[in-house]
Amino acid sequence: MQHQIETVRDDVESASEQVAAICELLAAARGTAVHASAITALLLPVSRKLSAAAGDLSDHLHRSQVVGSKRC
């Protein structure tokens, strides 16, 4: 279970780094037209990664609650 939490943490850190890079890219493009489709293409993988991490965390919390309730 600890491995799963570490994986979620790594995924969130990676997504954070990707968002920061996208922000830097957009800041550098100031004054230049940036198409919404390009921004979507950059953000969609980050969104998927965060969604997967949230699902993994939810699964972990659910399993922890089930294990905890069996101990009572």
Q: What are phi and psi of 29, to 5 degrees?
A: -90, 10
SS3 22: helix
CB count in 10 Å sphere of residue 18: 16
Tally the residues of the chain.
72
Supply the pLDDT for residue 2: 78
Report how far Cα 22 is from the mean position of its chain's Cα atoms.
14
Global confidence as pTM: 0.77
Question: Any idea where the domains of the chain sit in the sequence?
Answer: 2-71
What is the spatial distance between Cα 57 and Cα 8, in angstroms, rounded to a whole number?
A: 7
Per-residue pLDDT of the chain (72 residues; tens, 9 = 90+): 678 889 999 999 999 999 999 999 999 999 999 999 999 999 999 999 999 999 999 998 888 887 767 665
